[in-house]
Amino acid sequence: MFSDGRRFSVTGNKLTVSRTQPSGSKTVLGRAKEEAFIYGGASMGVGFNAGNTNMQISAGGMIQQVGLLAGLVPQNEKLLRKFYRDIYYYDSVGGSAADMLSTFPYSEFTLTGVDQKRVDKYVESMVRLNIRQLMPSVTLGYLVDGEYCSSLIFNQKEKVFVDLINYPVDDCVVEHLAFQGLDPIITVKTNEALRRFIMSSNRQAVALRAVLPKSLLQVLQEPNFELDPLTALYVARRTIPGSEPLSWLKRMLPAYLFERTLFRSTLVEAQRRVRAMLHIAMGDDTHEFTPEEMAETVNQFQLADQDPLGAVVGTRNNVTATEVRQGGDFWKWTDVTDQLKDIKLRGLGISEAFLSGDSNYSNVETGMSVFMENTDTLRSNITYEVLTNKVLRTTSSRKAKRLTRNRVVGCSSSCRTTMTSTSRQCAGTSDWKRSRKRT
C-alpha cells in the first residue's frame, strides 16, 4: 500500500511504515551524474612537472574543456611563446622550416620607376635600415612569435630613416583596435638592454647617444612608454578575424609535446641502463649454493665486467649466466620519429615530397609549386607591411615635422585625431599618393 511519501507493509500481524523517494528524483539524480561525467562535474586529475612547465592532465568529463590541448598547456599565447621558441631551437623540422621560409624569399633588391635622384632618398633609408638583413629577421619573428615590433628613427634634416630599435615581443603590450585601418596601441616596457645603453659610458654608446634625438633618449629612460603609430613597425600574423596573432608553429604543439615527453623518457631509460641485466642461476638437486658462495660468484662476474683486457671467471658446476631485459627493450623516441615528421610537415603545410628525394617527378613538381606560391605570398605580405606601408610611405612624406615632435611616443593631439578619423592619413599621405602615382 502506498501513500504520499510513505509506504505501508504488513508482515504477519505487524504494520511497517517507511518513507518513499519523491517521484522523479531518481531520474533527476541519474541525469545529474550523467552531466557530471560529460562536463567534468566530478573530475579526476593528475599533475606532473615536464621540464620548466607544470602540466595538469584532467581525466574528468568528455567535453570538460574545449580544445585539444586544454589542460596540458597554457592557453595564453604569451606563455606559449616559450614552447614556440623551444620548437625553433631544438626541433629539426620546425626550426629548419622557419629558417628556410625566413631566408629563402629575399635576396638583393633594386628600386626603379622614377629618376635616380629621387630614388636615392629611398635607397639611403633602406641601406641605413639594412633591409637585406632586416626582412629575414622580421619574417622569423613573424613565423615563430606570431608578431614583430620595433621603432623606426627618422632624421628630419635628411628626411630618411637612420636606424630602428627592436623590442622583445614579451616586453610589449599590444591593444588591438576594432578598426581594420588603425594600427594597434603598443606600450613597451623598458628592458635591461635599453637601460644599459642609456647609462653606458662606452665610447660607442656615447657617440650614438649624441646622434639620437634628446626626446628619444628621455623616452627610453621611462619604465613604460607608448609607441608612435607613425614610426612603430608592427607586423602580426593574424588568422581568424578578431583573434590575437598566432605563431606559425602552433599546429606543431601536439606532436611536439608527445615527442618531448617520449624524448625525456628515452634519456631517463638510457641513463638507467645501456645493456641487458645478467641473471645467474646457481645450484641444482645435487648441490645447493650457500649465500656466501652465491655472493662470491656474483662478485666475480662484476669484477670481470670491469676488466678491459678479457676476464676469466671460474665457477662450480650448474652455474648458468643469461642476459635478460635488454637495454633497448622500451618505447624509444627514435621509434616514432618518422611518423612524427609526417605529422609536423602536414601541420606546417609543407609537402614531404618537396623535402625528400624518394618521390616521383609529379609529386616533387606539385610540392615545389605549392611551396613557391606560399613563399611568394609570405614575401608579399612582409614587403607590404615593412616597406610599402611603413618605410616608403613615411620617407615620401614632405611634412616630416610631425614625425620629429616625438619619434617614439605619441604624436600631438592634432596628429592623433587625424590618424583616428582618416585612418593612416597622417604625415603627408597625400604626398605619398602623388609620389606613388609618379612611380
375-385 pLDDT per residue, tens: 888 999 999 88
In a domain, 346, yes or no: no
Amino acid at 435: S
Q: Are residues 51 and 86 in the same domain?
A: no
What's the count of helices (H) and strands (E) in the chain, helices before strands?
17, 13
Residue 366 located in a structural domain:
no
Range of the domain at 384: 78-252+376-438
Tell me: the pLDDT tens digits for 218-276?
888 888 889 888 888 999 998 888 888 999 999 999 999 999 888 988 888 877 777 78
Residues 131 and 19 in one domain: no
- Distance (Å, rounded) from C-alpha 328 to C-alpha 275? 8
Structural domain count of the chain: 3
Q: Give the domain-ending residue among 72, 106, 132.
A: 72
Tell whether 245 and 301 lie within a shared domain: no
d(CA 411, CA 405): 7
* Angle, in degrees to the nearest 10, between helices 131-144 and 116-129: 50
Residues 82 and 57 in one domain: no
Q: Domain for residue 242, yes or no?
A: yes
117 and 48 assigned to the same domain: no
Cα torsion at 89, 93, 97, 99 (round to 10°)?
A: 30
User: For the whole prediction, is pTM greater than 0.75?
Assistant: no
Domain presence at residue 357: no
Is 258 within the bounds of a domain?
no
Q: Please, where are the H alpha helices in 104-202?
A: 116-129, 131-144, 192-199
State the pLDDT at residue 388: 85
Q: Does 67 lie in the same domain as 92?
A: no
Q: Of 20, 42, 72, which residue sits at a domain end?
A: 72
* Positions in the chain whose pLDDT score sits under 50: 2, 24-26, 37-53, 56-62, 398-439
> Same domain, yes or no, for 38 and 14?
yes
Q: What is the pLDDT of residue 10?
A: 56
Query: Pick from 45, 72, 99: which residue ends a domain?
Result: 72
Q: Are both 306 and 193 inside the same structural domain? A: no
Residue 362 lies in a domain: no
Q: What is the pLDDT of residue 25?
A: 46
Domain assignment present for residue 329? The answer is: no
Say if residues 402 and 415 touch (Cβ distance below 8 Å): yes
Same domain for 304 and 410: no
